[in-house]
Structure 1
Amino acid sequence: MLERIIEYYRFINRPPYHEKSSGFRVAVLATVLISVVAVVKYGAVGWDAGALVVIEVIAGSTFSYYTRDRANLLVKIVLSVLLLTVFFVFWTELGSSIYDLRYPLVKLFLCLQVLHSFDLPARRDLDFSLVSSAVLIAFAGSMSVSSDFLYFIVPFFVIGLASLYLGHRSSLVAQSDLFVPAKKSHPGRLLAVTGLAIVPIVLLIFMALPRLSGFNSPYLPMTKVGNIPKSFEPFIKNPGYKNITGFPANPLPFSPDSYHGFNSFLDLRVRGILPDGIVMKVRSGKPEYWRAAAFDRFRGNGWESSEKKRKDISSGGLPLTVTHPEEASRYNVRGLVQTFFIEKRLPNTLFAAYAPRDVYFPTQFLKVDSMMSVLTPVTLDPGLIYTVVSEVSDVTPEMLRLSTGAITPENLQKRFCQLPTMSGAVGKLAQSVTRESSTEYERAQAICDYLRNNYPYDLKVKRQGKDENTVEFFLFNAKRGYCEHFATTMAVMCRTLGIPARVAVGYATGEYNSLTGYYEVSARDAHAWVEVYFPTFGWIPFDPTPGCSDPFTFPNKDTTWAGFSLLKVMGKTVGKILPARMRRGLKRSGLALGRAISRLGRGTSAFARWAWPLVPGMLIALAAAGVFWRRRRRRANLPRPAPERADGTARREVVAFGRMVEALSSVGLTRRTAETALEFGRRADASLGLGLCVKAAALFYRPRFTREPMSADLDELEHIVDEIETRLKNA
C-alpha cells in the first residue's frame, strides 16, 4: 500500500519537461533576487534575514539545476512538510497583524521563494517564481515613499521581460528537436529598441492617468517600537530644546535641529531660519496641515497652554480612539486617513490633520488635552510609521455665515478670548478692518485678508524687545514678520472682537510628489496658523500668512492630473546643466507650450467628465476587435474551401491540410498570408526535413481541380498528415 502511494506521488509530481535552458534559469533567478532585495530595502524583513534569503534562493536554484532530471522524492516530501509549517506560522502572525496584512503576506512569499527554489525542474516552476517575484516587487512599491524605487522596478522589468522571452524561446525549441532559429535574429537589439520605445510611452501614460482620491489603500500601516515606557510626563519633549517645560524669562535660543514651536509654549521672540531637508512624508487623500499642538493663553510675547493635565488614552488593541470630555462638538465632518513616514527625529507629538480620532500607533496609551493635541510616550524617530484617521471639517462659507447667532459656551468664550494688558490700538484696528462685516465668519475672514494684503512675509525681521508685546510690535513697528506673527496677530484681533480664537502649530502640507503620491514635508514647512471657533461647526482653521494656502477650510489641491508635474521636475533637473541663456529661451517656450496644454487639458477634462461612462464600452469594443483580428489572422493561415460537393468529399482535403498547418504552427512554422500551399510545403520540408509536406500540398490541390471525387487521394492525404503529426509529437 505504501509503495503504491509513493508511486502515485511520484507519478503526479513528474515534470512534463525538464527545463534545460540555463539562460532562462539565470534570468529568473536575477528577477527573483531583485524583488527580494527590494522588499528588504523597504523594511519587510531585516538585512540579516534578507541576506539569508538571497543565499538560500541561490543555493536552491543551483541545486534544482543540477538535479532537474531526478525525481527528488525525498526533497519534495521535506519541502511539503516545511511548507505546511510556513503556512501555520503565517496564520499565527496574521492574527496579530490585522491592520496591515502585507507584512505577513510578504514573509510568506519569501519563504515560498526559498522552498520553491529547491524544486525547479520544469518551466512551470520557473514561471511560478516569476509570478511570486512580481508579488514581492508590488509590495516594495506599496512601501516605497521616494523615487529610488525606480532603481528596482526598471531592472526588474528589463530582466523580467528577458526571462519571458527566454522562456518562450525555450518552449519553442522544446517542441521540436529540429527547430531552426532565424539566422538574422537579433534579440538583444530588438529588446533594446523595444525598451527605448516603451519608456517614453509608459511615461506619457503615467502622466495622463488620473490620480483618483477614491483609490486609497485599505491598509493602516505602522511600525513597532521597542523600549516603550509604562508612563510619561504630560509635556512635549523636543529634541532641539531639552529640559524646558515652562515659558522662559529670556528669549529661547534658536536651535536648527527642531522647530521651537514644538514645545509646551510658543516663544515669539525666537529668531532663526530652519535648514531645508525632508522630515517626514505623508500619504493622504487630501492636503491638510499636519497639526502638532495648540495654545490658548497669550502672554504678550508668546503662547502657552493653560492645561496642566491631559487625559490618558489607553486600549488593549488598536485603534486608540482619541476623545476628551471638554472637546468642542463638531458637525459636518468626514473621515480622512493619513499615514506618516518619519525621516528625522521629531518631538513626541502626534502629527495629524485636526481632529485625530482613530490612531494606529505602536503604543497602548497616549495623552490628549481638550484642544486635541496628542502626546506619545516616545519621540518620533526616523523609520517610524503610523496612521491616523481624522475627522476633518467639511464646511462651506455659507454654513459658517449661518452659524452667527448661535450661543458660544461661556467657559469657552472666557478661555479663548483671554488677553493680557495691551494697547487699545489693536482692538480699534480690528474694528476698523471689520466694520463692513456682519457675521463672525466675515469678520475673521476680513482680518485674515487684511494681514495677507498689507504685511509682507519676512524671516529676517528685526528682534523685538524682551517684554514688548508681539502684536503691537508687528502691526505698528516692524510691519512685517513670519507665520507666528501673522497667526498671533489674527488670533488677538479676533479676541478683541469677542471671537474665540487660538494658535496651532505643526507642518504645512508639503510638496506633492506625483511620482510617489506622497506629500514631502521639509523642516521649513514648520508653520503656525489660527483656529477660530464657530458654534455647531467647532474650530475652523484660517491662515493669514501671505503665500500660504488654507487647505483646512475650502481649497483642495486637485492631484487628479498631477502626473504632468513630472515635466516640472524633469525640467528643473535638466535646467541645471544648461547655459542661462538657453534656460531662459526654453522657459519662454515652455510657458507658451504650457498655456496651450492647459487649454487642451481643460477641454479634455470637460470631455472626460461626460465621456467617462463610455470607457467600459470602448474597452469591450477594443477587446472584441482584438478577438476578431486574432481569429481572422488564424483563418488566413488555413486554405479556402472549395465549393462543397454533394457527397462532402470536397471538404476532406481542407480539413486534412488544416490539420497539417496547425501541427506545423505548433513548432513555430506558420503559413504566410501570400504563400501558396506548395510554397508552404517546400519551406516546411526545408526547415524540418520531413519530406512529406510538399506531397501533402500536391494531394491537397488535386481534388480541388477535378469534378470527380478522388477518395484514394484523400485517404493518402489524411495518412500523410497523420504521419506528420506523429513525427512532430515524437520529435
Structure 2
Amino acid sequence: MTLERAFHFCSLLLAAVAFTGLVLTGEIPSGLAVLGLAALAVTIARTIGWGGDRLVDRLVGLPTSVWTALLVAAFVSFGIDLLLISRDILPAAVHFLILLMVVKLFHLRHRKDFLQLYAISLSELLATAALTVDLWYAGVFVAYVFAAIWTLILYHLRNESEEAHKGPSPIARPVTRQFFWTTNGIAVGSFCLTLVIFFLIPRIGTGFFQKNRTELIRTSGFSEKVDLGVIGAVKLDPTVVMRIEFPDVRGPVQNALYFRGAAYDTYDGRSWGNRSATRRTLERTPDGVFLVSTPQAAAAAESGGLRQEILIEALDTTVLFGASFVESIKGGFQIVQVDGVGGLYLPFPTSARFQYSVRSVPDRLREPDRTTESVSYPDLIRQRFLQLPDVGSRVGALAREVAGDARTPYERARAVERHLQQKYQYSLDVSTAVSASPVEDFLFTRKTGYCEHYATAMVVMLRTLGIPARLVTGFLPGVWNDFGNYYSVRQQDAHAWVEVYFPGSGWVTFDPTPSVPSAAPSLFSRVGKVVDSIRLKWDRYVVQYSFRDQMAAAKSLREGGEKVRTEVSGLLSALTRGLASAKAWLAGSARAYGWILVGGLAAGALVVGLVLVWRGRGGGARQADPRTARQVAAIQLYERMLRILEAQGLLKSPGATPLEFARQVARERGEAARYVEPLTGLYCRVRFGQAPFSSDDDRQARELLAGLQAARR
C-alpha cells in the first residue's frame, strides 16, 4: 500500500472508529446509524480497492452548490431536532455531527476537508465520552489514538510533499516495515503520555455535558412502606447494584456482613412502615465527613471500625448503604439525611453511579445484656418497638413455647432465631395471594417463605415477648471477587433481617433466615469475575478518578520516597560502620602481625617482577594472540585481491564497505563475482566475526586469487 492510499484509509478509519463509539452507546437512531455505516463502508471499500468506485465518483462529482445545500439542510435539521424532537443539546448535536460526517466523507477534495473530518471525528469521540462510561470506551479510545497518530503523520508527509511540488502531489512511496513500526512506536508513546497527563490534570468535578443515566435500576424494600413479598420479586435478578472494597482487609471479611439500608418500626399486619420517617440533616465536617450518632459509636475506639469503599449504581432509591452500623460517611455529596431508625438518605436519587466511603462499627453484645434477666427499656423504645397489630393469640403462644426455659431476653431472641432457622423451609416459590394474617399463614400453614417472612415473624414473636425489635432491609455481601478483592452485590442479594434492642449494647443484628447453599463456581463465573474486576478498576481509577485520588496518589509517592530515602540512608550508615570496622581491624592486624604483612607484600612484588621480566625476554611472544594472526592473514589476502582488481580496472572507493564493493564487482564484472564474493565473505568472517582461519581456508583463498588473476588473461 502506498503512503497516499494509507493516508486516505487512515483518515476514513479515524472517522469510522469515532462513529463506532457513538453507535455502541445505543443512543443513535437506527436510521442515522445505518446511514453513517453505509457511507463509511462505501468510501473505505473504494479506498482499498473493493469496489464502490462508480457510486463514490458520482457523489464526489456533484456540484459545490449541492453540498452547500446539504450542509444547510443538516443545520436546519439540528434546529428542529433541538427544539421539537430531542429537546436536548447533546443528542441533537450528535445527530448533527453524523450528518456532517456523511456529507464530508463524499467531499474530501482539499486539505481543509480532511481537517474538518478530523474535527468531526474528535467531536464524536467526546460525545461518546459524554454518553457512556462503560468499559468498552477504553477500546474505542485506544483505537482512536492509534488511528489519529497514523493519520496525522501521513497528513504531515502529504502536506510536505504538496509544498515541495507547489501543488497536489500524491505520495507514491510504499509503507515500509520501518515506517510501520516507527509510527506504531510513536502511537504507543503518545498513549502513555496521554495516561500521564490524564492522571496529572487537576480534577474539578463532573463534566458539564455528561449525560445522566435515564433508566434507574429499580429496587424493592427501601421505600417508606414495604409490603410483604416485595423483596422476593428481585431475588432472581442478577443485576449488579454495588461493588464494595475493604481497604484495610485482605481477602473476604470473616465476620458476617449486612449492608444496612432502611429500617422499619411499625407493622400493620400486612406491611411495614416507619413512624419516625422524619429526617434530619447530618452536619458535615470541614473535610467532607458526615458523622452518624449511633449507640455503637462509643465502641468505635475499641473495635477500630470497618472501612468500605462503595461504588453504587444509579438506583431508584435515595438510601445510602453501609455495613451495620455506619459511624461516618464521605462522598461527593453535600447533604446526607438520617431518619429515626438510623437509615441514611440523599435528598434525591442520583442519575449516575457514584462512589462514597463508609466507616462502620459492628454491633457487639456486652456481657451484662447477655446475662441480665430483668430488663427495663426506655419509654421511647417500648412505645415504638413493641407495637403490634392484631396477629392472633397463636403467635404469642408459639413465641412463649419456643422461648421455653430461656431466662434472659438474649436467650429468648436466640431461641426464636434458631426455631425459625431449623423448623421452616426457605423458598422463593411462595404464593403472592394476600392473606388476612401473613405471619400466622407463614408460621402455621405454609411454613415456607423467604427472608421477609422470617424477619417479620421473628420481630412479631419477640414483641409478643416484650422484647423491642425492628425489621431491616438491605443486602448481603454477595459474591467475593478474588481477582479484584471486593464484593459484587446484586439485586438477588437483597435481604431482610432483625435488629433487637439491648439497653447496654444498643441494636444487635439477628438473622432468622436459614442459609442457602451457594452454587459451585464455574469457568464462566470466573471469567465473569475477571471482566467485572476490570470494569471496577475502570470505574474506580478512570471514571470516578477525583482530586482526592490525586492527593492520595501524591501522598503515597511522597511516603514511598521517604521510605526509599530512609532505607538508602540506613544502608549507607551500615556501609560506613562496616568500613570503619574493617579499618580498625586492619590497623590492629598491622600492629600485631606487621612483619608478616611486610614479608608477604615483598614476596608478592618479587613474583610479579619475575613474571614481567620473563615476558619481556620473549616468553610472551610464544603466547601471541592467535586471533591477531588470523586477522593479519585475512587482511593480506583481501589486500592482494584488491590489487588484482585494481590492475584489471576496478578500484575500491575509500567509503565503500567490503560487501558494497563485492556488489559493485558483481554489477560491473559478473564473471569475477564468483571469486570476489567468497573471498569477501571469508575476510569479513575472520576480520570482524572472530571466525577461525584454517589451512583449508588459506588454500581455498589462494586458489580463488589465482582464478581471479587468470580471469582476464
**What band does the TM-score fall into relative to the shorter chain?**
0.3 to 0.5
TM-score normalised by structure 1 residue count: 0.45
TM-score normalised by structure 2 residue count: 0.46
Which protein is richer in helix relative to its size?
Answer: 2
